[in-house]
Structure 1
Amino acid sequence: MELNEIDLNLLVVFRQLLIDRRVSRVATSLGLSQPGVSNALARLRKLTDDPLFLRTPKGMEPTPFAEQLAEPMAHALQVIHAAINQRASFDPGTSKRAFTVGMADVGEIYFLPKLMKELARIAPGVSLSTVRNTAVNLQDEMEAGHVNLAIGLLPQLKAGYFQRRLFKQRYVCMFRLGHPLDKRKVSLSEFSAAEHVVVISEGTGHGQADELLRRQEVARKVVLTVPHYVAVGHILHDSDLVATVPERLAQALVDPFRLAYVPHPAKLPEIAINLFWHARYNKDPANVWLRSLVIQLHGETLGR
């Protein structure tokens, strides 16, 4: 007899017959019809060339050959069941796992301080590295498992990816404390008359703010353009320039650089910052743990 001749369901029926000893009980236990159980027994008898179970007043009594098969058959089914249902565990307290997260510099400024502090507390052996979402082929790297999570405004991650919104935020107008615009409300004309530093952060989606300002024909005197947000705090601290930045970044820069910000005078929509992971790793325990931690630290209640 070859394995390709055996239907695994027949072995399940065999095991249940050893337990229940009655066709009607087996049918109830397995959610089958009695004719279905009888048919399975007939196929087993043909495969093994043995009656396997004999009808007696006490029920279906196993033959010596059936009793011989009982233990190895039960063990085989147990091994198969365990293999199919196994789920590797992840213990952050003892793990030495190295994770890689895709994010822009604005994400590093906002997310990493709090995340690293929590990792030091609950997972001291875990290490984290970041990669720019534009520096690699993010889709291929996440599918291969080289990048575990990605955070940001990433419209390119669609089919094959799960995502969870962390929060929505608005754009604000930011400057140094004591700046002429440092007041409760700034008009659009005041905003336009100021000198600006503009961040061209390619691949992050934040460029849409500049595009919307152009479409609304909002004039700006741009005297400085930089490719990253990381320098904005230093630049604003020592100049009279103003910048259009995401509010969460503004919150992170206010105290270290003695800055201030106000609601943006132009009509700019809120942006959603999402957490992304590839569908292949949706149930991977380590991935589940890390993204749960990010959501716990930085996620807002959905629907807000």
Structure 2
Amino acid sequence: MKISSFDLNLFVILNAIYTEGSLTKAAEVVGITQPAVSNALSRLREKFNDDLFVRTGSGMVPTQKTENMIQDVQSALTLIQQSVNEPDTFDANSTKRNFKLSLGDVSEGRVLPFIMSEIYKEAPNISVGSYAYPRSDQVHALSTNNLDFVVDPIIPRSDEINSEKVFEDDFVVMHREGHDLSKIKSPSVNDILEQKHLHVSGRKRGLHLIDVELDKIGYRRKVALRCQHFLIAPTIIQSTDLVLMGTRSFAKRNNLPFFEIPIEIPSMEYFLIWHKSDEGDGGHIWMKDLIIRAFKDAQR
């Protein structure tokens, strides 16, 4: 088959069906109707003399023929996208571009003030939106330009995305001024676990990294209050005897007394995540650099 006789847009649709597992979702990603995607799939099947995808109860499942060529197709599409992007045309001072980020509430507190301060000085017409997306939807949102960047401790398992570690912090125990723990020179694990704890999580279930590590050595916290957002945590800690196991930078930013945890617990890492198709885009490069600088500033 000669490439000159092949409509290369069909490869875009092939990749969208493979990524989304659905003709309807593939249509949303590409920006065409679902019948147009069905028609494109029919043309692809005729070209390759293969079904390419089989409809099942869980979606469109690729055949072995598709699996054999999809990596080359995705690599070629990424290279083409990089070639058509024009980084030199981006002018931060004049652009009216809107950047869409997915940040947790703690990351918002760490970096949005810095980001908006720099935008005010360098790019007054740029706007930013911060949105909550479930991890299961992040790759789809990045591929459909509903998001430009995600910041999260977990990197999605996908060949479509790139990532870079932008922040790392260790865990401490926070408490109010005058708390009984402040009277102990070197609080032990038992001293900590005898306290009632505040636990912050937006999830309905699942253990925090701290609890996973404590569980390994047979310890468990007494959680007296579980709340969804860190925004309220400082007020709760300052007005009760509850303690909070969280990051050192959060304690410092909110002027909360804290002490070290006397066992080894892995540090908290955050990664900046973006779609490969955005590589080479001037505005994307500019915003990525700004986010990285914001996290470096937050770590001081």
Q: Same fold (TM over 0.5)?
A: yes
* Structure 1 residue ranges, 4+ long, deviating more than 3 angstroms after superposition: 83-88
Picking from 254, 267, 290, the partner of 2:264 is: 267
Q: Which has the higher contact order (CA 8 A, sep 6+)?
A: 2
Q: Give the superposition deviation at 1:107.
A: 1.0
- 2:199 aligns with 198
TM-score, with structure 1 as normaliser: 0.64
Q: Distance in 2 between matches of 1:84 and 1:125?
A: 25
Q: How many positions carry a matched residue from both structures?
A: 215
- Conserved? CA contact 1:174–1:260, under 8 Å: yes
- 2:156 aligns with 156
Q: Give the superposition deviation at 1:289.
A: 0.3
Q: Give the superposition deviation at 1:221.
A: 2.2
Q: Distance in 1 between matches of 2:223 and 2:158?
A: 34
- Conserved? CA contact 1:194–1:221, under 8 Å: yes
Decide whether aligned partners of structure 1 residues 193 and 280 sit closer, same or farther in structure 2, where only a CA change above 3 A counts. same
Alignment of 1:226-241 (within 5 A): 226-241=227-242
* Aligned-partner SS, 1:231: helix
- 2:289 aligns with 292
Q: Give the superposition deviation at 1:196.
A: 0.7
- Conserved? CA contact 1:197–1:223, under 8 Å: yes
Q: Give the superposition deviation at 1:261.
A: 1.5
- 2:277 aligns with 280
Q: Give the superposition deviation at 1:84.
A: 6.2
- Conserved? CA contact 2:85–2:282, under 8 Å: no
Alignment of 1:29-44 (within 5 A): none
Runs of at least 5 residues in structure 2 that lack an aligned partner in the other structure: 5-82
Q: Distance in 1 between matches of 2:84 and 2:270?
A: 36
- Conserved? CA contact 2:153–2:270, under 8 Å: yes
Alignment of 1:137-176 (within 5 A): 137-176=137-176
Q: Distance in 2 between matches of 1:134 and 1:249?
A: 23
Decide whether aligned partners of structure 1 residues 85 and 193 sit closer, same or farther in structure 2, where only a CA change above 3 A counts. closer
- Conserved? CA contact 1:191–1:265, under 8 Å: no
* Aligned-partner SS, 2:215: helix
Q: Distance in 1 between matches of 2:84 and 2:283?
A: 19
Percent sequence identity over matched residues?
A: 23
Alignment of 1:96-245 (within 5 A): 96-134=96-134, 137-182=137-182, 185-202=186-203, 207-245=208-246
Aligned residue type for 2:203: E
Runs of at least 5 residues in structure 1 that lack an aligned partner in the other structure: 5-82
- 1:249 aligns with 250
Report the aligned-residue RMSD: 2.6
TM-score, with structure 2 as normaliser: 0.65
Q: Give the superposition deviation at 1:101.
A: 0.5
